[in-house]
Amino acid sequence: MTSTANRSALLVTHTGRRHSTEHAASIANDLVRAGFEVRVVASEIGDLDLPPGVTPVFGPSAAEGVEIVFALGGDGTFLRAAELARPNKAPLLGINLGKVGFLAEAEISDIDQAVADVVRGAYTVDERLTLDVKAELDGELIAESWALNEVTVEKGQRAQMLELRVDVDGRPLSRYGCDGVVCATPTGSTAYAFSAGGPVVWPEVEALLLVPVAAHALFSKPLVTAPTSTFVITVDPYTSVATLCADGHRVFDLPPGAKVTVRRGAQPVRVVQLAPRPFTDRLVAKFDLPVLGWRGTKRR
């Protein structure tokens, strides 16, 4: 049995959903009863009916020193919680209260058992590869960020195609007239990169993905490269404006001529695993794959 002395947890939830706030209150009660210090992001605390003693926290240091961060919601909530967990090296546990929730470790039905496992210390922690990205114009830094799932360079005007040149490891690869390019991690291979036609990569694999989106080119296949590779995506000086987006919500404008550099992140995201589970099972469950086939198992 793990001692609860000086143990603490941060709760991040989707406050716009009533059942999310109810589950957050239930988890907070269970953790407080188990002797945890429970923290909640200050901007969310007014929407939650929480027990006495819960601590409101502010800013990027909200997860500093905590044993674990709970993300209660869908993948968007998980990615938002990752922003707080990553700089503080705090393990992140996702509990899916949304629809697919591919990043979550547990479902709604698992909440009580998940909290009990955390209290007992019955969990392990995996490190997930991330991306670091910076954008420059004429040698001047104009944007900098990171991503757990993906970094995208996309067209900024719906009616106009984007012209991009892609270099890999310092060598030119191809020029695309396209809607954009997705640079993804194995964790993000089941997100935007998957929708754009990229491969599913097991999260234990160390690799980077590059997936063109709706490219007008003879060669527009998705690429899987070494984790040490560097992608440089240059927005053609004579094309339209573009947009740089990290994990779907950190967005920056890219003027023509901008150069975007993407490489493996210096700091991973630490993700909680409650029990060993083959990634194949997660794929089948989340995508509802037809394991039996449309004819089932009966033979005539």
The pLDDT value recorded for residue 5 is: 62
213-246: b (≥16 Cβ within 10 Å) or e: bebeeeebebbbeeeebebbbbbbeebbebbbbb
The per-residue pLDDT for 16 is 62
Q: Is 185 annotated as a binding residue?
A: no
Top-ranked range on mean pLDDT: pick from 53-62, 153-162, 201-210: 201-210
Q: How many alpha carbons lie under 13 Å from residue 226 in its C-beta half-sphere?
A: 5
Asked whether the predicted pLDDT for residue 97 surpasses 90, the reply is no
Known binding residue 179? Answer is yes
On whether 80 is known to bind a ligand per the annotation, the reply is yes
Q: Is the pLDDT of residue 289 over 60?
A: yes
Instruction: Kindly report, residue by residue over 105-138, the tens digit of the pLDDT.
Output: 998 888 999 999 999 999 999 999 999 999 999 9
Angle between helices 18-33 and 111-120 in degrees, nearest 10 = 30
pLDDT at residue 300 tops 80: no
What gap in Å lies between CA 85 and CA 188, rounded to an integer? 18
**DSSP letter at 276?**
-
Quick one: tokens of 240? 């339209």
- The catalytic residue among 47, 75, 169, 281 is 75
**Pairing status of strand 208-213 against strand 124-128:** unpaired
pLDDT given at position 2: 58
- The pLDDT assigned to 227 comes to 98
Q: Is the pTM of this model over 0.75?
A: yes
pLDDT band at 297; cut points 50, 70, 90: low
Is residue 184 annotated as involved in ligand binding?
A: no
Amino acid symbol at 216: H
Per-residue pLDDT reduced to its tens digit, 10-58: 999 876 666 667 888 889 999 999 999 999 988 877 777 777 878 889 8
Cα 270 to its chain centre, rounded Å, is 11
Q: Tell me if 171 is assigned to a ligand binding site.
A: no
Cα angle vertex 288, ends 276, 111, to 5°?
A: 50
- Is 288 annotated as catalytic? no
What is the predicted pLDDT for the residue at 198?
97
pLDDT band at 251 (very low <50, low <70, confident <90, very high): very high
Please tell me the predicted confidence (pLDDT) of residue 159. 77
Please say if the pLDDT value at position 296 is more than 70.
no
Q: Single out the residue of 94, 98, 91 nearest to residue 125, CA to CA.
A: 91
- DSSP letter (8 states) at residue 149: S
Lowest mean pLDDT among 13-27, 194-208, 220-234: 13-27
Q: What is the pLDDT of residue 59?
A: 85
Query: 183-193 burial by CB neighbour count: b if 16+ within 10 A, else e?
Result: bbbbbbbbbbb
Burial (0-12, 13-18, 19+ Cβ within 10 Å), 115: buried
What is the mean predicted confidence (pLDDT) over 137-147? 97
77 annotated binding-site participant: no
Residue 144: Cβ-neighbour burial (10 angstroms; 0-12, 13-18, 19+): middle
**Mean pLDDT of the residues in the chain:** 91
Residue-level pLDDT at 160 = 85
pLDDT tens, position by position, 67-80: 999 999 989 999 99
Query: 3-state class of 44 per DSSP?
Result: helix
Question: pLDDT at position 17, please?
Answer: 60
Side chain identity at 88, as an amino acid letter?
N
195 labelled binding-site residue? yes
